[in-house]
A and B are shown apart, each in its own frame.
Chain A
Amino acid sequence: MSPLEDAGACFALEGELDAFTGPELREQLGQALAAGMCRLLVDLSGVEYMDSVGLGILVGMAKRAAEAGGGLAVVGPRDNVRRVFDVSGTRELLNVVDSLQDAQSRLGPATQTGEEG
């Protein structure tokens, strides 16, 4: 099992995250939460662009994950994406970190996996 699976559900995103592509992310994260996966890792290292649409989805899902007893962490955003977190003051709330190891330590030890078993 990879560190990612161990944390619940991991989403490695690529490309641009805006009002056109955001709905897909919202659906995927929403499905994971609905399936009982409340520990969400969102790997943004492959994302070249993000605006308030992506930010809003992440903030909303982080709240829902926390309410379900888990949390959400954002891993490895590029400088321009990191700036969106910094300017909006959401870096702590969204557990923005550089590595998967950091993300896991933020979310605590895994108690369940995202896989059925």
Chain B
Amino acid sequence: MSAADAGVIEMKVPCDPRFLSVVRLAVAGAAARAGLAVAEIDDVKVAISEACTNVIDHAFVGPAASASATFTVRINVGEGELRLEVLDEGAGFDPKHLPAATVENAAERERGLGVFLMQGLMDEVKIESAPGSGTRVLLVKRQAR
């Protein structure tokens, strides 16, 4: 094991919203271990939930549908920094074509503010995806100085 992997926890999660609270609990524990403050841990809980909810809602629909679909949450516990990756091998999408995150759109669809919230709550958000190639979401939260 390299030094970089020393604080890595990896979870394989069923694509089922029942387990969102389980992921939040695990990630909150890791965030506390990384030294984040209570309010920062609250932000992380929302952000990881948003990323996982998007996988559950979008990754394995249509031709990619599968009752046994899972995705991976990788937690990297640093010193004063938590890095989270949410990885799926689902349908993927073109990140350039995300619907605009406006309250008006959200009122119509009752959805669509998840990415916007992630960006507002985390220090770093990266979404890598392409149709047919799955999706990787990176979320980073650092301890306030």
Q: CB within 8 Å of B: which residues of A?
A: 16, 18-20, 26, 49, 51-53, 55-57, 59-60, 62-63, 79-80, 83-84, 87-90, 93
Q: Find A87's partner among B20, B39, B108, B120 (CB 8 Å cutoff).
A: B120
Say yes or no for B107: interface residue by CB 8 A criterion. Answer: yes
**Are B110 and A19 closer than 8 Å at their CB atoms?**
no
Closest-CB distance, A21 to chain B (whole angstroms): 8
Q: Find B107's partner among A53, A63, A84 (CB 8 Å cutoff).
A: A63
For the complex, what is the distance from the CA of A56 to the CA of B112, rounded to whole Å?
7
Q: Is the interface of A mostly helix, strand, loop or mixed?
A: helix
Q: Contacts of A63 on B, CB cut-off 8 Å? A: 107-108
Q: Contacts of B66 on A, CB cut-off 8 Å? A: none
Q: Contacts of A79 on B, CB cut-off 8 Å? A: 39, 42
For the complex, what is the distance from the CA of A32 to the CA of B108, rounded to whole Å?
18
**Are B121 and A20 closer than 8 Å at their CB atoms?**
no
Q: Contacts of B53 on A, CB cut-off 8 Å? A: 18-19, 51-53
Name 19 A/B residue pairs within 8 A (Cβ), A-sorted.
A18-B21, A19-B20, A19-B49, A19-B56, A49-B46, A51-B46, A51-B114, A51-B117, A53-B111, A59-B107, A62-B107, A83-B39, A83-B42, A83-B121, A84-B46, A84-B117, A87-B120, A88-B113, A88-B116
Say yes or no for B141: interface residue by CB 8 A criterion. Answer: no
Closest-CB distance, A93 to chain B (whole angstroms): 6
Most-contacted residue by chain B among A16, A18, A83 (CB, 10 A): A18
Q: Which residue from chain A places its CB closest to the CB of B120 in the assembled complex?
A: A87
The 6 closest A-B pairs by CB, nearest first: A60-B110, A20-B17, A80-B42, A87-B120, A63-B107, A19-B17
**Are B103 and A52 closer than 8 Å at their CB atoms?**
no
Excluding A26-B110, A63-B108, A84-B117, 15 further A-B contacts by CB distance (< 8 Å) are A18-B20, A20-B17, A49-B24, A51-B46, A51-B49, A51-B53, A52-B114, A53-B111, A56-B109, A59-B107, A60-B106, A60-B110, A63-B107, A79-B42, A83-B121
